[in-house]
Structure 1
Amino acid sequence: MDSNQAVWFPHEEDMKQTRMYKWMEKLGIREYDDFYEKSIDDLAWFWDEAVKELNITWKQPYSKTLDLSKGLKYPNWFFGGKMNICENAVDKWVANTETRTNKALIWHGDDGKEIIYTFEELSKEIDRAASGLSDLGVKKGDIIAMYLPMIPETVISMMAIAKIGAIFSPAFSGYGAEAVATRINSAEARFLITADGYLRRGKIVKMKKEADRAVSMSPSVEKVIVVRRCGSDIPWDENKDVAWGSLLKNESTYTYPDTDASDPVMLIYTSGTTGKPKGAVHTHSGFPIKSAFDAGICMDVNQGDTFFWYTDMGWMMGPFLVFGGLVNGASIVLFEGTPDFPAPDRIWQLVERYGVTHLGISPTLIRSLMKHGPKWVDQYKMDTLKMIGSTGEPWNPEPWMWLFEHAGKKKVPIVNYSGGTEISGGILGNVLLKPISPITFNAALPGMDVHVYNENGDSALNEVGELVILKPWVGMTNGFWNENERYENSYWSRWEDTWVHGDWVIKDDNGFWTITGRSDDILNVAGKRLGPAEMESVLVEHASILEAATIGIPDEVKGETAVCFVVLNTGAIFDDLCKKELYDLVAAHLGKSLKPKEIYPVEELPKTRNGKVMRRLLKASFLKQETGDVSSLENPDILEIVKNLNIVIPEYDRKE
């Protein structure tokens, strides 16, 4: 299938009911492309109008929408304004008698347990937690590390910390002690909030044990606050450990301190290609507003909708779910466990059970569910579903169409969404005012001045190039924590006043964008650039192949050549015939010169818990190089297997 051939088209009446269309109409603009151009031509006007449309509440109005006195790298948004994101996410809905009893938070546990909070109930819990944290000594500007699973207390903690004016720093719930300690020490966090454990596939994952090990390596931590999720026996230090329940004794309303729009609210770490993780700094008016804008205006999340993204709070899509949903007055669904336990229909079951309107997944998740067959999804109507969001990695056409046909019933749009932790949301997406084609993006998102540059820094069309952004946006990271030189070197060092994101993309004549991979993953085979996703999409067309990953290795003749790793479908056999068919597929689609050097069958690919395939780690392991930070991996053992594959690269007769 041609990935640039649209398969979903907006119906005019439905399109006119979207928040984006209504807003454009209010501004006197009818066409998306005209709206987009105006959004990047006048950034101050655009984001001023955006926060009005999102109904952001200000304790003190800002005097200037955008201050660039420190240059493009360090914009100051909503200069002079005072606001607190907790008020905008929760308390403003409580102040309205029509919305205070609406569902705010729905939690579904691995064991089937369920907890539901209204906005009013959630606000009371946040106040109690904020009072308890304040009594414990937490003050404005303090950093509180969070090592928590997806449970209600995670959201309550985030909001209580924000309400105090402190800074929360979430870590992935699957990390080991060393990875957690690295982040705590970088942030110099005074407090850690954790849990005794959580359930995964019916078994208890012991978090407190890892948390204690992390704290033993983290001298800045004064107190450890522990949520009792499982009620299991855990080690306890009377001098340092504090029970979460003991914080909640104060029923009084917590009074907001003065927080500036530019005050930090979240410090979230991303894994570096080498060295220690990078701490992206986000403000009250940064990450939450960009997330709320992308969810509300671009994905059409409305007040009263139900928003569910399968993620973890240590990944940016966790906070995105919280702010993208709550700031828009929607319910958010938190999910503990795995999508295929106790059966492969769990995600679809929850969509129907809770009336989910907006579902977020990753391509890897869909590929893993596909192998169980469509019966697990076809049995559910899911009539409430308005949109399926996807992020984390490039798609291949087959799983995209499988999702569109079976979960979306060929009616629900799939909103491909790509950006990053440092972006606070998306750069490219699928807006609901334009046709959508498999695996591609139909638009640069409003307010994002996006271009594709070739190696000379010139605009590129119909060829692979670097994704760049030429103007600042709301949500842009306010540097890296105590490492602004590293921040500037990471994004601003190649071309002057140009953010180089690190993605290779192609923009075609029809306005569709395709991400082919990270620029550090790109292959240059005999002078031809090849995105790994291009070859991977070809390989997974074969009936035996479930997943594939491609890396580039040095080659004496071509400069670089491809090596591929494939995961087989259940019951498939990888033999000489299968391998020849795969080589022939690549030759037919991409040309004989791009045939891979070798194709290896593996049981799994190295992935983060949210499903992102880590090609850089595949490459480093295969070439026996230092892998750098591997703390985000769910399955690091696969790297040792890959390392041992490259003893001698076998030759393979590929003559016609």
Structure 2
Amino acid sequence: MDDQVNHLTPAHPAHGNDSGAELYARAEADRKAFWAAQARRLHWDEPWQHVLDWSRPPIARWFDGGRLNVAYNCVDRHVEAGYGDQVAVHWVGEPGDTRDITYRDLHRMVQQAANALAGLGLRAGDRVAIQLPMIPEAIVAMLACARLGLVHSVVFAGFSPAALRARVDDARARVVVTADGQYRRGRAVPMKEKVDEALVDADSVERVIVVRRVGADLDDDTPWQNGRDIWWHDLLRDASDHHDAESFDAEHPLFILYTSGTTGKPKGILHTSGGYLTQAAYTHRIVFDHRPGSDVYWCTADIGWITGHTYLVYGPLANRTTQVVYEGTPNVPHEGRHWEIIQRYRVSLYYTAPTLIRTFMKWGEQIPARYDLSSLRVLGSVGEPINPEAWLWYHQHVGGGRSPIVDTWWQTETGAIMVAPLPGLRAPKPGAAQRPLPGIGAKVVDDEGRQVSPGASGYLVIDSPWPAMARGIWGDDERFRTTYWDRFAAHDDYFAGDGARYDTDGDIWILGRTDDVMNVSGHRLSTAEIESALVAHPAVAEAAVVGASDALTGQRVIGFVVARGEADPPTADDLRRYVAEAIGPIATPREIHSVPELPKTRSGKIVRRLLRDIADGREPSETTTLADPAVITDIAQRFGPRTDA
């Protein structure tokens, strides 16, 4: 692999109108002035009095006193500037239907939806829950809420009725926006009946608005509650397409997004308006080197996650982006669907998850080779640390060996990208997030909060406030403080919950969640590092590693691997040797099991918790968020006391 890495050099020096070095220099000279300059790229109805009020950590106030409208910044100002005919969204449905929506179209749709919601008696500060598939109405609903100062809570379309209900109750949502159904893996799947199940005796909900997406493709009629339910098209039919956007305080709540933990009460992460939009637009512009009017951008994330909020809705639209939005799964109707879409729309900026990249690897390099991907200019990675082998495959077989890759680290709580390489600024390091972005203070510390030396590992913390930072957990500021700030309270540092290390150059490598760090005979082992070693084997497409309980060593390392393409599954002994050579004998998995698939959510994240349940002899619990619950059943049946694969 070293030979493959050594030839990589910076290839893309532009970052909008600034060089990366200039951005870093200005941010280091005066961080507040730097962020004020980024905020001034937006339209403000009233200027702020203070860039930052950090008098009550951990609650910050950014651009205090300033007033703006988020939806106006994402739509209206582009139309008023003469860009109404520019395509905002190339939408592709899973069955093959398409819609090209210009900024003028989007402007009209958002104004109509805002008037319709206002007509239901909703007022600024009210909460609206949105559970929709990846259709344009999801974007419109979010922007209409932002236009009115309503606080939206988008719920992933794959979540269970119980998960939806918990979020509706916690936010006290007055309205729920959903669809009759959605297309998944080539068939129509009902949604409305599950929403009805979720809302039984939900006393805060007054209306349910239903978008007709699948219609007659459903086997049964859409269930209906007269007096409560209303079709989206009926609601908008008589609504005016003119609406004057009201300005709101920079700290006005924009949205609540609940973390998807499966135990305990979900955490409603609260984000506000001015600071969030400032950093969303800034990071989208510099990390992807976005060029309005020439680039076509595609973020493959679902709108129900923070990546969909920041890098599919607010950041791109604030930057006048033309983007692709795709409704379906990447292998319907065939495994080249993503490459087909990139070829058709000449996508130049592509942002996806390492899990999906490894899936593409498993399907084989011959599939992207069938398509013209020469339009791609910058590639992005999000969601978890990308292992070097996946990075190199992505660079070679998707980027043609020429497109820089930005490996981004951030979280729901941070609101926007925090650590990532700027394309072309420095030679890339496959698998490294490298440096905090200009304006961001991030470092790796030890248990006492002291920064560790180059070459050492520790905990990733944010050591200064940033504009898109969460303003708390909805209704529970104390939980916000104890969860994220108490660990390093003496330094006012935000603890991200991730382990990280510096290399000898001082660049940051993310090691994954600290709760995914195993303790084997007193040695702290990162699951991410062991997984990366396994995936480095030429016959392995994907790997997941968990620590199972062990009376002697505390934990024992258990690996699950998926073979690449048509390759024969590698032997467990071969893989153990591979790990031992890459990391050391202490990291060698006790057991390695070859499986056809790994359990994943519909957003592509591996659910290691379920694998840990199996390894510890427990019945896997809470499988409703899986894209295919049968996968974990199959793994449980295969799992046994044997130690070979």
TM-score range, shorter chain: over 0.9
- Which residue pairs with 1:246 in the alignment? 234
CA 1:144–1:422: 2 relative to 1, 3 Å: same
2:300 to 310, 334, 338: 310
- Which residue pairs with 1:410 in the alignment? 401
2:76 to 66, 91, 104: 91
- Which residue pairs with 1:612 in the alignment? 605
- Which residue pairs with 1:42 in the alignment? 30
Alpha-carbon distance between aligned partners in 2 of 1:152 and 1:511, rounded to the nearest angstrom = 43
1:498-537 equivalence runs, <5 A: 498-537=493-532
1:488 to 481, 484, 490: 481
- C-alpha displacement of 1:100: 1.6
- Which residue pairs with 1:128 in the alignment? 112
1:378 to 331, 348, 369: 369
- Which residue pairs with 1:294 in the alignment? 283
Counterpart residue identity of residue 618, structure 1:
L
Counterpart residue identity of residue 49, structure 1:
A
Alpha-carbon distance between aligned partners in 1 of 2:367 and 2:375, rounded to the nearest angstrom = 18
Q: Does 1:471 align with 2:493?
A: no
Q: Does 1:227 align with 2:211?
A: yes
1:176-195 equivalence runs, <5 A: 176-195=160-179
- 1:47-101 CA-to-partner distances (Å, cap 9, x unmatched) read 101122xx20001111111011222x1110000001011011100001112x121
Q: Does 1:76 align with 2:61?
A: yes
Q: Does structure 2 conserve the Cα–Cα contact (< 8 Å) formed by 1:364 and 1:611?
A: yes
Q: TM-score w.r.t. structure 1 length?
A: 0.92
Counterpart residue identity of residue 18, structure 1:
H
Q: Does 1:65 align with 2:51?
A: yes
Q: Does structure 2 conserve the Cα–Cα contact (< 8 Å) formed by 1:504 and 1:519?
A: yes
- C-alpha displacement of 1:419: 0.5
Q: Does structure 1 conserve the Cα–Cα contact (< 8 Å) formed by 2:556 and 2:590?
A: yes
- 1:422-477 CA-to-partner distances (Å, cap 9, x unmatched) read 11121211212121121112321122210101223221231221101111101101
- 1:358-403 CA-to-partner distances (Å, cap 9, x unmatched) read 1111111122122232222112222322111111112222222111
Alpha-carbon distance between aligned partners in 2 of 1:644 and 1:458, rounded to the nearest angstrom = 46
- C-alpha displacement of 1:105: 1.6
- 1:476-495 CA-to-partner distances (Å, cap 9, x unmatched) read 01101112111111111111
1:166-565 equivalence runs, <5 A: 166-216=150-200, 218-232=202-216, 233-248=221-236, 249-272=238-261, 274-304=263-293, 305-320=295-310, 321-432=312-423, 433-460=425-452, 461-496=454-489, 497-565=492-560
Alpha-carbon distance between aligned partners in 2 of 1:60 and 1:631, rounded to the nearest angstrom = 46
Counterpart residue identity of residue 183, structure 1:
R
Counterpart residue identity of residue 299, structure 1:
F
- C-alpha displacement of 1:193: 0.4
- C-alpha displacement of 1:171: 0.7
- C-alpha displacement of 1:167: 0.9
Alpha-carbon distance between aligned partners in 1 of 2:603 and 2:377, rounded to the nearest angstrom = 23
Alpha-carbon distance between aligned partners in 2 of 1:82 and 1:4, rounded to the nearest angstrom = 50
- Which residue pairs with 1:18 in the alignment? 15
- Which residue pairs with 2:21 in the alignment? 31
- 1:512-551 CA-to-partner distances (Å, cap 9, x unmatched) read 3221221110123333322112111221233432211111
CA 1:244–1:7: 2 relative to 1, 3 Å: farther
CA 1:130–1:168: 2 relative to 1, 3 Å: same
Greater Cα offset, 148-157 or 224-233: 224-233
Aligned length: 634
- C-alpha displacement of 1:2: 4.2
- 1:130-158 CA-to-partner distances (Å, cap 9, x unmatched) read 11111111111111000001111111111
Q: Does structure 1 conserve the Cα–Cα contact (< 8 Å) formed by 2:160 and 2:625?
A: no
Q: Does structure 1 conserve the Cα–Cα contact (< 8 Å) formed by 2:363 and 2:565?
A: no
Counterpart residue identity of residue 499, structure 1:
Y
Q: Does structure 2 conserve the Cα–Cα contact (< 8 Å) formed by 1:132 and 1:247?
A: yes
Q: Does structure 2 conserve the Cα–Cα contact (< 8 Å) formed by 1:110 and 1:202?
A: yes
1:103 to 83, 87, 93: 87
1:596 to 558, 575, 589: 589
Alpha-carbon distance between aligned partners in 2 of 1:470 and 1:624, rounded to the nearest angstrom = 41
- C-alpha displacement of 1:558: 3.3
CA 1:147–1:553: 2 relative to 1, 3 Å: same
Alpha-carbon distance between aligned partners in 2 of 1:525 and 1:92, rounded to the nearest angstrom = 57
- C-alpha displacement of 1:606: 2.2
Q: Does structure 1 conserve the Cα–Cα contact (< 8 Å) formed by 2:573 and 2:644?
A: no
Q: Does structure 2 conserve the Cα–Cα contact (< 8 Å) formed by 1:568 and 1:601?
A: yes
Counterpart residue identity of residue 388, structure 2:
P
CA 1:92–1:70: 2 relative to 1, 3 Å: same
CA 1:5–1:557: 2 relative to 1, 3 Å: farther
Q: Does structure 2 conserve the Cα–Cα contact (< 8 Å) formed by 1:340 and 1:369?
A: no
Structure 1 stretches of 5 or more lacking a match? 25-29
Counterpart residue identity of residue 633, structure 1:
L
Q: Does structure 1 conserve the Cα–Cα contact (< 8 Å) formed by 2:63 and 2:275?
A: no
Alpha-carbon distance between aligned partners in 2 of 1:132 and 1:552, rounded to the nearest angstrom = 52
CA 1:49–1:344: 2 relative to 1, 3 Å: same
Q: Does structure 1 conserve the Cα–Cα contact (< 8 Å) formed by 2:374 and 2:400?
A: no
- C-alpha displacement of 1:652: 7.2
- Which residue pairs with 1:9 in the alignment? 9
Counterpart residue identity of residue 263, structure 1:
H
Counterpart residue identity of residue 45, structure 1:
A
- C-alpha displacement of 1:298: 2.2
Counterpart residue identity of residue 228, structure 2:
K
CA 1:277–1:4: 2 relative to 1, 3 Å: farther
Structure 2 stretches of 5 or more lacking a match? none
Greater Cα offset, 277-286 or 467-476: 277-286
Alpha-carbon distance between aligned partners in 2 of 1:500 and 1:179, rounded to the nearest angstrom = 26
Counterpart residue identity of residue 74, structure 2:
A
- C-alpha displacement of 1:319: 1.1
Alpha-carbon distance between aligned partners in 2 of 1:339 and 1:542, rounded to the nearest angstrom = 25
Alpha-carbon distance between aligned partners in 1 of 2:29 and 2:607, rounded to the nearest angstrom = 36
Alpha-carbon distance between aligned partners in 2 of 1:588 and 1:9, rounded to the nearest angstrom = 28
